[in-house]
Amino acid sequence: MVDLENLRQVCRGRWYNILTSLGLSETYLTGKHCPCPICKGGEDRWRWDDKGGTGSFFCNQCTPQAGDGFSLVMKYLNIGFPEAIKKIQSIVGGCEKMPDKKPAPDPRPRLNKVWSASTLLTGGDPVSKYLHSRGIVLLPDNVRYCAKCYNKELGSEIPALIARIQNKEGKPVSLHRIYLQDVSPKKKLMTGTESLNGCAIRLFMPGGLFKGDVLGIGEGLETCIAAAQIFFIATWSCLNSTILESFEPPENIRKIVIWADNDASFTGQKSAYVLANKLYKKDLIVSVETPLKAGTDWNDVLLEKD
Give yes or no for residue 197 having a pLDDT over 80: yes
Between CA 173 and CA 152 the distance in angstroms is: 21
- Using one digit for the tens of pLDDT, what is the confidence trace for 93-135? 755 554 555 677 899 999 999 999 999 999 999 999 999 999 9
Cα 229–chain centre separation: 29
How many other C-beta atoms lie within 10 A of the C-beta of residue 98? 8
- Using one digit for the tens of pLDDT, what is the confidence trace for 10-41? 898 889 889 988 999 888 898 888 899 988 87
Measure the CA dihedral 74/78/81/86, to 10°.
-90
Residue 306: pLDDT band by 50, 70, 90 thresholds?
low
Helix (H, G, I), strand (E, B) or coil at 237: strand
Peptide bond into 185 cis (omega under 30): yes
Under a CB-based contact definition with an 8 Å cutoff, are residues 306 and 135 in contact?
A: yes
The amino acid that residue 280 corresponds to is Y
Question: In residues, how long is the chain?
Answer: 306
Under a CB-based contact definition with an 8 Å cutoff, are residues 256 and 215 in contact?
A: yes
Quick one: three-class SS letters along 245-262? HCCCCCCCCCEEEEECCE
- pTM exceeds 0.85 for this model: no
- Using one digit for the tens of pLDDT, what is the confidence trace for 145-187? 999 999 998 999 999 999 999 999 999 999 999 999 999 889 9
Question: What one-character-per-residue DSSP string does 161-224 give?
Answer: EEEEEE-TTS-EEEEEEEESSS-SSSEEEPP-SS--TT-BB----SSTTS-TT-EEEESSHHHH
Between CA 235 and CA 248 the distance in angstroms is: 14
